[in-house]
Amino acid sequence: MPHPLSPLGVVHTLISLAPLVTGLYAFVRFHRIEPAAPSGKLYLAGLALSVFTAFGLSSTAGVNPGHVLGVLALLAAFGGALLVPRLAFLGRLGAHLQTFGLSFSFFLLLVPGINETLTRVPMARPLATGPEDPLVRLSLLVWLALFVVGYTLQVLERRASRRAA
């Protein structure tokens, strides 16, 4: 067992499944994370708990890039969910910024998750050796491409629904 999880690591992993599952559900159901929907509220709560529990985890005994990505994810999600709707001067751009913030937070949530999963699974012989491993880099590149395509589709769908209304 090369990388055993600590008890906090297990708790963090289980908590992190909540925003992952609710985010995926929201994308399938609403084509975006809708902060007013129960799934959106659970996503935001799960994201916050996931980031907060991550601060107790660090192989370097300090702040690491995963912590920074977590804080950025919180800023993007809560900025999109709470701040952007209050900025009336943004007009129609506000809806796009809200969608971007929440989608970007989901993207950021999985960046360390991809690395951690590939460097821990399967336990006897993990698929990757670390963040510099070609498999991790390729996986993150594919994840980035999926984010760009997904957000583009969200923008196009919002435009189409606005034109239809």
Whether 2 is in a domain gets the answer: no
How far is residue 73's CA from residue 85's CA, in Å, rounded to a whole number? 18
Whether 36 is in a domain gets the answer: yes
Query: Model's pTM, two decimal places?
Result: 0.93
Whether 21 is in a domain gets the answer: yes
Using pLDDT thresholds of 50, 70 and 90, give the confidence band for residue 144: very high
How far is residue 157's CA from residue 138's CA, in Å, rounded to a whole number? 28
Can you give the residue range of the structural domain that contains 114?
A: 7-164
pLDDT of residue 1: 45
Using pLDDT thresholds of 50, 70 and 90, give the confidence band for residue 5: confident
Whether 159 is in a domain gets the answer: yes
Helix (H, G, I), strand (E, B) or coil at 165: coil
Using pLDDT thresholds of 50, 70 and 90, give the confidence band for residue 59: low
Taking Cα atoms as reference points, which of 25, 47, 41 lies closest to residue 81? 41
Indicate whether 147 pLDDT > 80: yes
Whether 48 is in a domain gets the answer: yes
Whether 1 is in a domain gets the answer: no
Structural domains in the chain (count): 1
Task: Note the pLDDT tens digit of each residue in 67-104.
Answer: 999 999 999 999 999 999 999 999 989 999 999 999 99
Average pLDDT over residues 8-33: 96
